[in-house]
Amino acid sequence: MQLKQAVDSAFQRFIAAEVPSPRLNAEILMTFTLGRDRSYLFAHPERELSPEEQYRYEEVITQRAQGCPTQYITGHQEFWGLDLLVSPAVLIPRPETEHVVETVLELVKEHYRENHARIRIVDVGTGSGCISLALATELPQAEIHACDISDEALEMARVNAARLGLGSRVLIRKSDLLSVYEQDTFDFVVSNPPYVGDGEADKVQKQVKDFEPKIAVFSGADGMDIYRRLLPQSAAILRFGGWFVTEIGFSIEEKTKRLMRGWEDVRTTADLQGIPRVIAARKPAAQKSATMKVALP
Ligand SMILES: C[S@@+](CC[C@H](N)C(=O)[O-])C[C@H]1O[C@@H](n2cnc3c(N)ncnc32)[C@H](O)[C@@H]1O
């Protein structure tokens, strides 16, 4: 079979299976099968596929038609211009999460000017490492920590850090939220935590529900369990005037803000679709912090 015929046939199968962006997916999976870039597909439409190439293409097409995300098949996802490795052990980094990175960088610019050397940041629930690795590339002088409760996610974050030459820049540890940082203080706690309610599984895309790690997606009956623990823990370990920056899910802005009694400068950033996506809030100066809910990890 010729290359173009194989891609066209995968395209038709993806339409029938309601795979989003069917043409693009068929092409990406062909470039993955052949180990070539997309320009090769257009330059050699009549190239005959070997039986082995046909077999491998058929295998990945079947996986994708059954719902497996393309990123778990190819093992790669780009985030903040970085090529990250991903596996079913980690959430696939989403473009919306880049707003978390942007928010931190804006706050650094606003409040720390050029003095980045003393900035200490911890990324809670790092998954692939996407947020902390992006921050490490943008803030070369900052001290960056990252944690996760999943051993497999930690392994993936470490591999990504090493591949990007950032292994010594991001200190990665296993921790249940901030529990191992009890003796530390930070300028920023950043997170994209799980925030979908257990009862809301039917509102989540099938691909997320069936293929992405449950621990990365669900957080108790109403999706707020992690925020309920993480906010008081963050209040305990942030420096006075330090920032909590978190991604939020569709429709939980108000519920999250209600947990922020005593925090200052609470601000929300919307994503490109206008959906509230990131909340940032500041721990007040010493005399006012008494009004906050604080819990040592
Ligand atoms: C929504 S994913 C985010 C991953 C990555 N930061 C991103 O933005 O793509 C949430 C992550 O939190 C981790 N997690 C869940 N519960 C946790 C806990 N109690 N302590 C630390 N990490 C946790 C999961 O393993 C998962 O990697």
Least confident of 32-41, 60-69, 115-124, 207-216: 115-124
Q: Say which DSSP state 267 is in.
A: E
Assess whether pLDDT exceeds 90 at residue 41: yes
* pLDDT > 70 fraction of the chain, expressed in percent and rounded: 99
Distance 192 CA to ligand 1 centre (A): 7
- Mutation choice for ligand 1 from 84, 122, 126, CB with most ligand atoms inside 8 A: 126
Q: How many whole angstroms separate alpha carbon 119 and alpha carbon 3? A: 52
Coil vs helix vs strand at 236: helix
**Alpha carbon nearest to ligand 1 atom 19, residue:** 176
Kindly state if the Cβ of 126 falls inside 6 Å of ligand 1.
yes
**Which pLDDT score, from 0 to 100, does residue 202 have?**
83
Residue extents of the structural domains in the chain: 3-66, 87-289
Q: What share of the chain is helix, strand, coil (3-state, %, to 5)?
A: 45, 20, 35
Q: Do residues 4 and 46 touch, judged by C-beta distance below 8 A?
A: yes
Instruction: Tell me which amino acid residue 9 is.
Output: S
Q: What are phi and psi of 196, to 5 degrees?
A: -100, 135
pLDDT averaged over every residue in the chain: 94
Which of 193, 181, 263, 255 minimizes the C-alpha distance to 226?
193
So what's the pLDDT on residue 203? Answer: 83
Look up residue 260 and give its amino acid.
M
pTM for the whole structure: 0.94
> Rounded distance, CA 245 to CA 101, Å?
9
Give yes or no for residue 148 CB within 6 A of ligand 1.
yes
* Selection from 115-119, 226-230, 251-255, 259-263 with the highest mean pLDDT: 226-230
200: CA distance to ligand 1 center in Å?
18
Q: Please give the Cα distance from 151 to 69 (Å, whole number).
A: 22
- Structure confidence at residue 116 (pLDDT): 65
Type of residue at 17: A
Residue 127 Cβ < 6 Å to ligand 1: yes
Cα(124) to centroid(ligand 1), Å: 7
Do domains 3-66 and 87-289 share one topology? The answer is: no
Residue 199 in this model has a pLDDT that exceeds 70? yes
Q: Give distance in angstroms: CA of 154 to centre of ligand 1.
A: 10
CA of 162 to the centre of ligand 1 (A): 20
Residues in contact with 294: Cβ distance below 8 Å, sequence separation at least 6, in sequence order: 232, 235, 236
* The architecture CATH gives domain 87-289: 3-Layer(aba) Sandwich (3.40)
pLDDT bin (cut points 50, 70, 90) of residue 235 is very high
Confidence grade of residue 75 (pLDDT, cut at 50, 70, 90): very high
> What CATH topology corresponds to 3-66?
Helicase, Ruva Protein; domain 3 (1.10.8)
Q: Are 133 and 161 in contact (CB under 8 A)?
A: yes
Q: How far apart are CA 283 and CA 266, in angstroms?
A: 10
